[in-house]
Structure 1
Amino acid sequence: MNTAPITYHPAPSKPTFVMPKGACDTHCHVFGPASRFPYAPQSKLQPGDAPKEKLFALHDMIGIDRCVVVQSGVHGFDNSAAADAIAARAGRYLGVALLPADVSDDEIRRHHDQGFRAIRFNYMAHLAGGASMDELLRLSERLARHDWHLQIHMDNELIAEKAEGLAKASTPVVIDHMGRIDASLGMDQEPFNALLRLMENKHVLVKVSGCERASRQDEPYADAVPFARKLVDTFPARVLWGTDWPHPNFRADAPDDGVLVDLIPQIAPTGELQQALLVDNPMRFYSFDI
């Protein structure tokens, strides 16, 4: 039995915001159970289990119908735990894998059959390093043939540096967590301006997830909301939303997922914007079967 501490809120509140039918959580993870899906020994994070059953219970409570499970670094390149969660709700749940840049086409096809649609690369100090830009661009040419995309999780200070290369990608590029901007620096900060410039490329999308990570305040993380609102207002057809459950590498106190859901009407204040963010954009981009 895994006795490590859990990273998620044990009793999230019921949100007041009612999700539209078909709402999608495009960014969440599953951890273990470690007894069945062991953690990668090189992972700096060795958390308590956050299995699919806990994720499904949260989704059912907050009104999520579709989901994209993002492979966590705790499992390295072994995507089995994510594949198991996807298979349990086949058609409604898809995935983003962690795979090396030189992954074979056969492995891409095998993961595609399991429900994966992208490869994620991390450029954060606390996570295993990603591929070089040349490697990413070569990979993007192959991913385009499989109708896959790149997902990029990077420190905000790297946005400007990587923007020129990402603009040349042959496949769509999804930027995680609003580029991990620091909300305390204000709206007119260079990392956020660099993200807005990067978003001018029509193949780039952004997840307006992670308000709790961008914020330097306690919940409800109000200082981060204007950044997400700006992205939704400016690029309404290329924004996605996710919970980031079970919130790995967050602060000591896990965020209340009900509070995060109740930020949605502030991020996307109209029914039209909410429909695009939560239903239409993910349905179109990921091509769910159901």
Structure 2
Amino acid sequence: MSDHRAPAQSTALCLAPFETSQVSTFSVPPGACDTHAHVVSASSEFPFAAGRSYTPPPAPEAEYLAMLDRMGMSRGVLVQISVYGTDNRYMLDVLERHPERLRGVAVVDAEIEDAELLRMHRLGVRGVRLNVLFGGGVGFDSMERLAARIAPLGWHMQFLMDVRDLPDLMPRMKTLPCPVVIDHMGHMPVADGLSAPGFKALQQMIGDQGWWTKLSGAYRISDRPDGYPDVTPWARELFKTAPERMFWGSDWPHVAIDPMVDTGLMRNLLAEWLPDDAHRRRVLVDNPARLYGFPSDITPDH
């Protein structure tokens, strides 16, 4: 069995994302949202954290917006990339320029000032991310304190974790006073099977605790490079557990992987996982609009 946890620390430059993508195999509905992507500035004004696990190439605002357009995505959610640590400046700069189209998930420590949380909220941040897989992030030690800080804002807590660890963490995580989002379908190998304790724990928390998860990162949990068919039962079972709490995300610019993947293929997997148009609309439009607070009466600025 392969282990899909994060790679060892390296400053070697990651592969750059492709500039072109597969065309869509289905009609992407208006208002569709990519709930998981990152931006990386080309400027030395935004230095990387010394303890990072990888070094990404530039993935700046213009390239990110062009990717959204190619994917047919009206909206997007930027997730603070781990290599910047708690320096959210570049992501916030991008959010400020696109208040109708974009939302954000920040990385902060538990000592952040209330005024800064409020400023982030005004700029479109709607959650914080805890990361125990890649260096540079904030881990479980801050979980309860951060949750208490963000709950009054209506924010959620997003976890980049391997849910093989979830059974041991459930007693703590069940008590969090805010919504919980799990990245990349739990970031554990699908080869472990649908009866694996980690997957069953994720299902339980989605079904009983009202958690959310992202139908993303198939290439991070699959052992099949030929279109990731082994992920299809996994994604369908998660959707069946709670259709109203599923999202889709591209995971662009696909850091720390080799070979590089086609972002269009990542979108097109939705047609395999969810053949029904109404189900895809729920995942792409309705669910993200509800959690991230996108207004329903505007045309996104693209």
TM-score by length of 1: 0.92
Cα displacement (A) at 1:194: 1.4
Secondary structure of the 1:9 match is coil
Alignment equivalent of 2:198, drawn from 188, 191, 194: 191
Note the C-alpha offset of 1:11: 2.7
Asked if structure 2 preserves the Cα contact closer than 8 Å seen for 1:212 and 1:219, the reply is no
Change (3 A) 1:128 1:146: closer
**Out of 243, 266, 274, which is 2:272 matched to?**
266
Q: Structure 1: which 4+ aligned runs deviate by more than 6 Å? A: none
Displacement of 1:59: 0.8
Q: Deviations over 1:138-175 (max 9, x none)?
A: 32222111111111111232111222222111110111
Q: Which residue in the other structure is 2:9 paired with? A: none
The answer for the alignment partner of 1:236 in structure 2 is 243
Take 1:201 and 1:174, find their aligned partners in 2: how far apart are those partners?
14
Stretch deviating more after TM superposition (20-29 or 262-271): 262-271
Q: Is 1:21 the counterpart of 2:30 in the alignment?
A: yes
Q: Match of 2:253, as an amino acid?
A: P
CA 1:21–1:125: 2 relative to 1, 3 Å: closer
Are 2:184 and 2:215, in contact at CA under 8 Å, matched by a contact in 1? Answer: yes
1:196, CA displacement in angstroms? Answer: 0.8
Find the aligned partners of 2:101 and 2:268 in 1 and give their Cα distance. Answer: 23
Counterparts of 1:243 and 1:119, CA distance in 2: 19
Aligned partners of 2:150, 2:285: CA distance in 1, in Å?
24
Whether the aligned pair in 2 keeps the contact of 1:173 and 1:205 (CA below 8 Å) is: yes
Count of residue pairs brought into register by the alignment: 285
Task: Give the alignment partner of residue 132 of structure 2, picking from 97, 120, 123.
Answer: 123
Q: Does 1:286 align with 2:295?
A: no
CA contact (8 A) 1:150 1:174 kept: yes
For residues 5 and 129 of structure 1, the distance between their equivalents in structure 2, rounded to whole angstroms, comes to 22
Checking the alignment, whether the CA contact within 8 Å between 1:208 and 1:241 is kept in structure 2 is yes
**Equivalent-residue separation in structure 2 for 1:78 and 1:18 (angstroms):** 37
1:206 maps to which residue?
A: 213
Q: Where do residues 133-172 of structure 1 align in structure 2 (5 Å cutoff)?
A: 135-172=142-179
Kept in 1, the 8 Å contact 2:49–2:136? The answer is no
| Distance in structure 2 (CA, Å) of the matches to 1:176 and 1:120 | 10
Query: Which stretch shifts more, 81-90 or 96-105?
Result: 81-90
TM-score (norm 2): 0.89
The CA deviation at 1:201 is: 3.1
Equivalent residue for 1:31?
Answer: 40
- The amino acid that maps onto 2:158 is Q
Structure-2 change in CA distance of 1:278 and 1:262 (3 Å): same
Once the two structures are superposed, what CA deviation does each residue of 1:190-234 show, in whole Å capped at 9, x if it has no partner?
Answer: 211111112123431111111111111103111112111111122
Query: Does the CA contact (< 8 Å) of 2:131 and 2:160 recur in 1?
Result: yes
For residues 84 and 17 of structure 1, what CA distance do their matches in structure 2 show?
33
Please say if 1:83 is aligned against 2:89.
no
Residue 129 of structure 1: how far off its partner (Å): 5.1
Supply the distance in 2 between the matched residues of 1:107 and 1:283 (Cα, whole angstroms): 24
Q: State the distance in 1 between where 2:124 and 2:220 align.
A: 28
* Residue identity opposite 1:255 in structure 2: V
Does structure 1 conserve the Cα–Cα contact (< 8 Å) formed by 2:25 and 2:271?
Answer: no
Amino acid at match of 2:139: G
Gaps of 5+ in 2: 1-11
Question: Identity over the aligned pairs, expressed in percent?
Answer: 34
CA contact (8 A) 1:31 1:74 kept: no
Counterpart-to-counterpart distance in 2, 1:257 and 1:20: 18
